[in-house]
Structure 1
Amino acid sequence: MPSAAERTRTLVHSTCSAVLLVPGPYGADPGQPMVSTRSVGPDGDLFLELPVDSPAVRAATHAEGDGPSAVLEITDVAPVSLPHRIRGRARVSGRLTAVPGVPGPGRMTLRLATGEAYVDDLWGAEAVGPEEFRDAAPDPLVGHEAELLQHLHAAHGEQLGALCGLLGERSARRCATHRPSVVPLALDRYGLRVRVCEDRRRCFDARFEFPEPVRDISELRHAMHRLFEAAAN
């Protein structure tokens, strides 16, 4: 399974919505703007682009010393429609400073010197240290996951339904009896996770591991072909 640090880095590099929270008089604004772009430097620090009039920018530009403390909060929502769509949340905390230069009209880049991080997702909840976060790499499919899940949901419903046959005798019998919906929930280099729902109140998740981790889209296509082929036989 991916480590907690890898999962946190993946969420940071994803297109999931994120807000930057800054305690204190400058950051005390309930209408926190979304962080439009974010990236991670080689030392593990985050670079965040926000409007120049945002509370976080005001806090960073008026602060003295090491800068104010701040928390980047990321919410991961499944890109397809299904019950209980929130897949996880992550927080990265640290000290905030302004980065010289102007990224664009009305924008400013802030640097969040990474301290502690925390992830709570489909794998579980776990804290992540700054060195772990710095050294981890995001999942290679992170830039394509949303599109791939939407494609699977729209074009491969029959093959997804056939995956019930790989869940063991009891689960396969339930699937055959109740004809549940099988919706792709998450995809990473290690495998595919689906949500099997008889109705909105009775759902369970199942995960199908690839024989070996995939490194790119080409290897993913091969792994998915093998998975669907196994379910059809």
Structure 2
Amino acid sequence: MLLIPGAAATRPDQLMPEARSVGPDGEIFLVFPSDSPVVRAATHAQDDELAAVLELTDVAPVSVPNRIRGRAWVSGWVTCVPGVTEPGRMMVRLEVGEASVDDLWGAEDVEPEEFARAHPDPLVAHEAELLQHLHSGHGEQVRGLYTLLGERAEDVRRAGDRAVPLALDRFGLRVRFTRAGGGTPVDRSFDARFEFPEPVRDVVGLRRAMHTLFEAAAD
């Protein structure tokens, strides 16, 4: 959602862009209906700087306890970019002033220059499909990764934990183990990270890396 102080919206979906992309200099382009509160506010501001915060929520594409994997906030200034979308739509440009991320890997601030230099993970476009495939087609092998957990491995084996692949990137796979028994699902869950021997560049490299992990767990 793009949050603008003073921009009235009757529904949260009015603040959700229909599309978003990142420009070569790190600016963020967002597409909204022409009559959206965001576009009205940006048009009314004209040459004034219109402060805004883009709030993003990352939800796991598989069913696990506590599905929110992280949140990010990108604050900056919004201006309209007319004439580049179809009729009835307006593109707005968010110039990034600062950003922060709070996710499975921890909380961290991101400088605008770092954001502009960053490249998407090569698996990002396929992550949801790949996680769902691992969960439905390789569930036992994913659970078998517990043998790589060292001292915790025996506890996981005795408890009969459920294992769900939670996150995937070029560096490795994160699995959420959920123990059967009392307490809330969150209390019974813990995450384990399984690093690949080297960063993967594409889906072909991922297949090799996963095969290596499954072989190591089976030994």
Q: TM-score range by the shorter chain?
A: over 0.9
Structure 1 residue 172, shift from structure 2 partner? 1.4
Give secondary structure in 1 for the equivalent of 2:179: strand
Alignment of 1:15-54 (within 5 A): 19-24=1-6, 27-32=7-12, 33=14, 34-54=16-36
Consecutive unaligned residues of structure 1, counting only runs of 5 or more, are: 1-18
Q: In 2, distance between residues paired with 1:106 and 1:190?
A: 42
Instruction: Specify which of 117, 120, 131 is matched with residue 138 of structure 1.
Output: 120
The Cα offsets for residues 88-139 of structure 1, whole Å up to 9 and x where unpaired, read as: 0001111101102151242111000111011000011111111111111121
Q: In 2, distance between residues paired with 1:66 and 1:119?
A: 28
Q: In 2, distance between residues paired with 1:105 and 1:231?
A: 55
Q: What residue number does 2:216 align with?
A: 230
Q: In 2, distance between residues paired with 1:193 and 1:180?
A: 15
Q: What residue number does 2:200 align with?
A: 214
Instruction: Specify which of 115, 139, 145 is matched with residue 157 of structure 1.
Output: 139
Structure 1 residue 175, shift from structure 2 partner? 1.7
CA contact 1:66–1:95 (8 Å) conserved in 2: no
CA contact 1:39–1:48 (8 Å) conserved in 2: yes
Q: In 2, distance between residues paired with 1:198 and 1:153?
A: 17
Q: What residue number does 1:183 align with?
A: 164
Q: How many residues align?
A: 212
Q: What residue number does 2:75 align with?
A: 93
Consecutive unaligned residues of structure 2, counting only runs of 5 or more, are: none
TM-score when scaled to structure 1? 0.88
CA contact 1:94–1:112 (8 Å) conserved in 2: yes
Structure 1 residue 66, shift from structure 2 partner? 4.1
Q: What residue number does 1:173 align with?
A: 154
Instruction: Specify which of 138, 147, 161 is matched with residue 129 of structure 2.
Output: 147
Runs of 4 or more, structure 1, over 4 Å off, are none
Q: In 2, distance between residues paired with 1:48 and 1:218?
A: 32
Higher relative contact order (CA 8 A, sep 6+): 1
User: CA separation of 1:216/1:225 partners in 2, compared to 1, >3 Å: closer, same or farther?
Assistant: same
Tell me the amino acid that sits aligned with residue 223 of structure 1.
A
Instruction: Specify which of 187, 190, 193 is matched with residue 174 of structure 2.
Output: 193
Q: What residue number does 1:4 align with?
A: none
